[in-house]
Structure 1
Amino acid sequence: MGIHMDDNIHAPTVASGPSSTGEPARDPAKLSMVDLMQEKQRIEEELSALSEVLGSHGVHMSTSLTTFDGFPRDDIDVAQIRTIRAKIIKLRYDHKEVMKHLETGVHAHFANLQRAQEPTSTINNTNGSVGASNSTTESSSSDTGMLSPPFAKVNSVAAGSPADQAGLRLGDTIRSFGSVNWINHERLSKVAELVQQNEGRTLIVKVSRQNEAGSLAELNLELVPRRDWGGRGLLGCHLVLL
């Protein structure tokens, strides 16, 4: 995960993690949305702690643990690192399962909101002429009902930067950044990872912006990360968590 800290390889955080206590695994299918969010956070915190331990020893998940001639390296604790890697693999699987159920729950929640709005639209439309506007109302409800909650805010935008050229503005709130949203942004680390992996490629950024009338406008912006714009970074903007 690219996290490098100064924890010792034998730091007690490894042994004291929730997955190391013998506590039975929680079945994501039986958890509420609140419990799923808590489980997601717990897993991410433990993954972060384990990754910090690997990083402190100068290794990551794909670092070779053997010498060029196939013997275990004697400059690292190979057994400990293998144990940590196994825990990380298990936690990543658990995280994927939690995310699957969490996303299913979110979609079901928004679908219920949309269905709850439809009867009102039907009651208010009592003749054919108003019925024409009914499809517009339902379309609008569908568009807004499926919007993800914002998770970040644009804190600054450099003039002439990729973010500026895409149309990002100070104060915009981010609902999704490519495939990253409020569920999986992991304290914005996934945004940075996505940007690094997509230099020169177009990313769709969904933002909310308050207009002069005080209402929110929903925009889909095309942002192309690049480093040749004359400033620092690939975006030229700064995001902060909401």
Structure 2
Amino acid sequence: MGMPMDDIHAPTVPSGPTSRLGGERDISKLSMNELFKAKEQIEEELKMLSEILQSHGVNMETPLTTFDGYPRDDLDIAQIRTTRARIIYLRNDHKAIMAKVEQGVHAYFADIRNRDTCDKSTGDQQPPPTTHDATEEAPVDQSGLVETPFAKVSSVADGSPAAQAGMKVGDKIRSFGTVNWMNHENLRKISEVVQSNEGMPLIVKVARSGEPSQALVNHTLQLTPRRNWGGRGLLGCHLVPL
């Protein structure tokens, strides 16, 4: 009789930040457009792989052994292990891309601040901000898509992932990961993106009323859906369609 395979549920992938992107192309040389496209491709594949696991009635944590340590004969263990390994592989890629996107976002806002500083130091007079509805002068993303708000934050739980990301009641959602006003399908797509990106940061763009003029100010948040934060759901906030 052979020894029980206690670690059969462990994916056979290299440890560390090894990523298929590292072997195919240098992330540092990708434009923001290319980064977002790669991010979307990875998220689509992760969604498909998650559905494969669900079809087997398991997730990333489901044990593949019996109580006494032997492989379960009711599961296709080989396919499940391969699928789990690919998910881990892609999550490494996604984290690398999101880190680069975050750097790009910080660089973008740093450039804006530097320009403002230069304008003030040279005496250039900038027109005062005007109060406007974000649907009238909505920002444009890297692909040229107008980011019109399509949802509003109606509640945010204390200590939740949404609260930690800086989300506030009244924020108007302009984009949520890959979801925007054109494809949100009555917010259903947000739920799909959240479920398929548990534990991975999502870029969320919001428009928020500023003080004291109440003009809408645009903010870019990094929100990581997760469980076990002490409340219900993966976000800890409630959104309603506009």
Question: Structure 1-normalised TM-score?
Answer: 0.53
Count, aligned residues: 168
Contact 1:28 1:101 in 2 (8 A): yes
Give ranges in structure 1 of 5+ residues lacking alignment: 1-18, 126-136, 138-148, 176-180, 198-204, 220-224, 228-233
Contact residue 209 and residue 217 of structure 2 kept, 8 A: yes
Q: 1:64 to 1:100 in 2, by over 3 A?
A: same
Question: What is aligned with 1:28?
Answer: 27
Query: Partners of 1:214 and 1:122 in 2: how far apart?
Result: 27
* Structure 1 partner of 2:46: 47
The CA distance in 2 between the partners of 1:81 and 1:108, in whole Å, is 40
Q: Deviations over 1:47-79 (max 9, x none)?
A: 111001101110000101111121111111000
Answer yes or no: is 1:106 the counterpart of 2:105: yes
Bigger radius of gyration among the two: 1
Is 1:154 the counterpart of 2:151? The answer is yes
Deviation at 1:102, TM superposition (A): 1.0
Is the Cα contact below 8 Å between 2:176 and 2:190 reproduced in 1? Answer: no
Q: 1:62 to 1:76 in 2, by over 3 A?
A: same
Q: Deviations over 1:73-102 (max 9, x none)?
A: 111100000000000011001111111111
Q: Secondary structure at the match of 2:66?
A: coil
Distance 2:208 2:156 in 1: 18
**TM-superposed deviation, 1:235:** 5.0
CA contact (8 A) 1:154 1:237 kept: yes
Look up the equivalent residue of 1:97 and give its one-letter code.
A
**Partner in structure 1 of residue 208 of structure 2:** 208
- The percentage of aligned residue pairs carrying the same residue is 40
Q: Partners in 2 of 1:217 and 1:87 — Cα distance?
A: 40
Alpha-carbon distance in structure 2 between the residues aligned to 1:34 and 1:151: 19
State the structure with bigger RCO (CA 8 A, min sep 6), 1 or 2.
Answer: 2
**Aligned residue for 2:16?**
none
| CA displacement, residues 159-189 of structure 1 (integer Å, 9 cap, x when unaligned) | xx768xx9834xx4147xxxxx855889534
Alignment of 1:43-122 (within 5 A): 43-122=42-121
TM-score by length of 2: 0.53
Distance in 1 between the 2:218 and 2:31 partners? 30
In 2 relative to 1, CA 103–123 (structure 1 residues): closer, same or farther, beyond 3 Å?
Answer: same
Distance 1:167 1:41 in 2: 26
Structure 2 alignment gaps of length 5 or more: 1-18, 129-140, 142-146, 158-166, 181-188, 200-204, 220-229
Shift of the 96–184 alpha-carbon distance from structure 1 to 2, 3 Å rule, reads: farther
